[in-house]
């Protein structure tokens, strides 16, 4: 493949992030509606979406607060939902760690499930991208996702529950992520990691505060790493 210009990498990121508009729009709209119904005013609803910018955690916090849970319990629960972000952060570090601090700070702020997944996938597939190229691509991916998060939170808060129940939009999140899993399954180690994580996630789904997701993620990562070591040993043994 020929060397791409910075500008075209940015736009490639925008294109790769674009399908996730289908997830972000309904999810943020819903947060605007739910937040307003829970009694938050417009600036408070927007405060959540701009300062926290993490859908599942925002819903968790508002849900618990409006149920009358103590603020500290709501805070710890919402942060637990976001613990996976630390794992994303670690996994991006080998690719983006050498970028200037201010760029890493912005990349951290915009780190959501979608920007992480799309970028990490691209970095694995383009190992020769330089650090600035990776950052350019990252901010391209973020462009169609994060501004819409703010905009549709605002819209949801303004128009409230007058939004018609859209058809099966709940399933936009599973579909868009499922579409990315197939291409990620590059080696038997990746397949093993995915299978183990799904099995553990389903078994542990009843645990509170998304703990099941973290256990499943760790189990999958350990499986993948272990499988990789075993596959390498087998390959080495076969060579004379």
Partner 1 sequence: MIEGRDLWLFIAALGIGTFALRFVFLGLVGDRPMPAWLLRHLRYTAVALIPALVAPLTLWPAATDGAPDPARLVAAGVTLVIGYATRNVVLAIASGALTLFGGLALLG
Query: What is the smallest separation between the CB atom of 148 and partner 1, expressed in angstroms?
Result: 17
Contact yes or no for 40/53 (Cβ under 8 A): no
Q: Which is nearer to partner 1, 182 or 240 (CB)?
A: 182
What does the alpha-carbon distance between residue 174 and residue 178 come to, in Å, rounded to a whole number?
Answer: 6
Q: Which is nearer to partner 1, 151 or 180 (CB)?
A: 180
The pair of structure tokens assigned to 104 is 């890493």
Residue 38 CB partners (closer than 8 Å, separation 6+): 62, 65, 66
Query: What is the smallest separation between the CB atom of 1 and partner 1, expressed in angstroms?
Result: 15
Contact yes or no for 98/131 (Cβ under 8 A): yes
Q: Which is nearer to partner 1, 11 or 228 (CB)?
A: 228
Query: What is the smallest separation between the CB atom of 186 and partner 1, expressed in angstroms?
Result: 9
Residue 54 class from Cβ within 10 Å (0-12 exposed, 13-18 middle, 19+ buried)? buried
Query: What is the smallest separation between the CB atom of 229 and partner 1, expressed in angstroms?
Result: 7
What does the alpha-carbon distance between residue 6 and residue 137 come to, in Å, rounded to a whole number?
Answer: 8
Buried-exposed string 173-195: b where 16+ CB fall within 10 A, e elsewhere: beebeeebeeeeeeeebbebbbe
Q: Which is nearer to partner 1, 57 or 157 (CB)?
A: 57
Q: Which is nearer to partner 1, 155 or 199 (CB)?
A: 199
Q: Which is nearer to partner 1, 108 or 240 (CB)?
A: 108
Query: What is the smallest separation between the CB atom of 22 and partner 1, expressed in angstroms?
Result: 8
Query: What is the smallest separation between the CB atom of 5 and partner 1, expressed in angstroms?
Result: 22
H or E segment and range at residue 130: none
């Amino acid at each position: 493949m020929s060397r791409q210009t910075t500008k075209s990498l940015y736009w490639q990121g925008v294109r790769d992030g674009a399908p996730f508009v289908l997830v972000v729009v309904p999810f943020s709209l819903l947060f605007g509606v739910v937040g307003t119904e829970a009694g938050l005013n417009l600036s408070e609803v927007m405060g959540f979406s701009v300062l926290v910018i993490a859908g599942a955690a925002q819903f968790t916090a508002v849900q618990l607060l409006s149920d009358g849970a103590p603020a500290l319990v709501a805070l710890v629960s919402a942060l637990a939902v976001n613990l996976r972000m630390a794992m994303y952060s670690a996994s991006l570090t080998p690719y983006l760690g050498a970028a200037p601090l201010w760029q890493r700070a912005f990349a951290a702020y915009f780190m959501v499930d979608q920007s992480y997944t799309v970028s990490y996938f691209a970095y694995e597939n383009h190992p020769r991208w330089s650090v600035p190229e990776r950052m350019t691509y990252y901010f391209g991916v973020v462009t169609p996702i994060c501004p819409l998060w703010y905009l549709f939170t605002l819209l949801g808060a303004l128009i409230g529950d007058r939004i018609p129940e859209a058809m099966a939009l709940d399933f936009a999140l599973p579909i868009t992520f499922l579409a990315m899993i197939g291409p990620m399954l590059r080696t038997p180690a990746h397949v093993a990691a995915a299978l183990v994580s799904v099995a553990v996630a389903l078994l542990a789904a009843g645990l509170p505060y998304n703990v099941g997701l973290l256990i499943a993620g760790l189990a999958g990562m350990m499986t993948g790493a272990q499988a990789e070591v075993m596959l390498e040993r087998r390959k080495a043994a076969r060579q004379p």
